[in-house]
Amino acid sequence: MVELAREVLSRLGYSAEFHKMAFLRCLNEVQNQNMTLSPFASAYSLGKLGDNLVAINPSVQYHLPAFFLRSSDPVKDLSGIEAFAGWEIAALRGNSFARRHQHNSGIGWIFVNNNPALWKLLLSYRVDAFLAEYQSQILLSDELRQQIRILPPMEAEPLYWAVNREDAQLAQQVGEQLEQAIDDGTVDTLYRKYFGVSFRDIERMIASQEFLKIPGPGPVENHP
């Protein structure tokens, strides 16, 4: 989303400066007006953080939560969240799917701050699985890919860009530019660059529940 955010903001005459931080911290920084925009906000997180944040429409990305297991573990029928009752599962603190099922799934959730912690817990046998973004598999080396099994995504949840409510005019301007970026093919071009298919193709796959057809680029050797 960095390239798209840079392009959209440049069309409005802004020069963007990006800061890498944890998901919830980013939203809190925007809520406190220390940052202007967060490119990742779910409806759940926006609702939890009160009335100071506003989502920018349209959504141009999706969260696809999926369970990552060790490939050495026995294969089971794990077709729904109920199948994981009694498991110890790690997730990022900002994972909205995990938070929504935190108290009603029978899962023992362990929340951590970053992706490397998820991998450490799984590969050291301290949890049974972890929940993460399905497309994060693009970060896997060939060696690591052989050690894990990724289940199909549990759902597809729209993610939004968000700004402080005091910046409502900016939200409207950015939303208009996002609409234009979809219409003029900019969003599709960036999706093809990184995923090999257009954003419209991904939307069609999600609408038809064909999550496993959503591709990713080749593995990156330097896993974080």
pLDDT band at 106 (very low <50, low <70, confident <90, very high): very high
Is position 199 within any domain?
Answer: no
pLDDT for residue 175:
96
Answer yes or no: do 144 and 169 share one domain. no
Is position 96 within any domain?
Answer: yes
Q: Helices 168-183 & 2-11, crossing angle to 10 degrees?
A: 110
- Edge-first strand order for the sheet with 37-41 is 37-41, 157-164, 53-63
pLDDT band at 105 (very low <50, low <70, confident <90, very high): confident
Is position 215 within any domain?
Answer: no
Whole-number percent of the chain with pLDDT over 70: 93
Scanning 66-114, the segments in alpha helix (DSSP H) are: 96-100
Q: What is the pLDDT of residues 174-200, one digit of tens each?
A: 999 999 999 999 999 998 888 788 999
Q: Mean pLDDT over residues 159-168, rounded?
A: 92
Answer yes or no: do 177 and 101 share one domain. no
Is position 175 within any domain?
Answer: yes
Of residues 50 and 130, more confidently modeled:
130
Please check the confidence at residue 224 and state whether its pLDDT lies above 50.
Answer: no
Which residues contact residue 146 at a Cβ distance below 8 angstroms, ignoring those fewer than 6 apart?
71
Answer yes or no: do 76 and 136 share one domain. yes
Q: What is the pLDDT of residues 71-92, one digit of tens each?
A: 988 877 777 888 899 999 999 9
Answer yes or no: do 99 and 43 share one domain. no
Is position 129 within any domain?
Answer: yes
Answer yes or no: do 79 and 143 share one domain. yes
Alpha-carbon distances of 174 from 34, 58, 59, 105, rounded to whole Å: 19, 10, 11, 38
Domain boundary among 134, 150, 166: 150
Answer yes or no: do 146 and 72 share one domain. yes
Q: Mean pLDDT over residues 36-45, rounded?
A: 86
Q: Mean pLDDT over residues 50-68, rounded?
A: 89
Domain boundary among 150, 169, 199: 150
Answer yes or no: do 71 and 145 share one domain. yes
Q: What is the pLDDT of residues 5-19, one digit of tens each?
A: 999 999 999 988 998
Structural domain count, the chain = 2
Domain membership of residue 27 as a residue range: 2-61+157-184
Is position 197 within any domain?
Answer: no
Please check the confidence at residue 213 and state whether its pLDDT lies above 80.
Answer: no
Answer yes or no: do 55 and 124 share one domain. no
Q: Is 38 helix (H, G, I), strand (E, B) or coil?
A: strand
Is position 120 within any domain?
Answer: yes
Please check the confidence at residue 97 and state whether its pLDDT lies above 50.
Answer: yes
Answer yes or no: do 41 and 94 share one domain. no
Is position 212 within any domain?
Answer: no
Q: Is 161 helix (H, G, I), strand (E, B) or coil?
A: strand
pLDDT for residue 138:
64
Answer yes or no: do 54 and 7 share one domain. yes
Global confidence as pTM = 0.81
pLDDT for residue 223:
32
74: CATH: 3.40.190.10
Answer yes or no: do 83 and 48 share one domain. no
Answer yes or no: do 124 and 14 share one domain. no
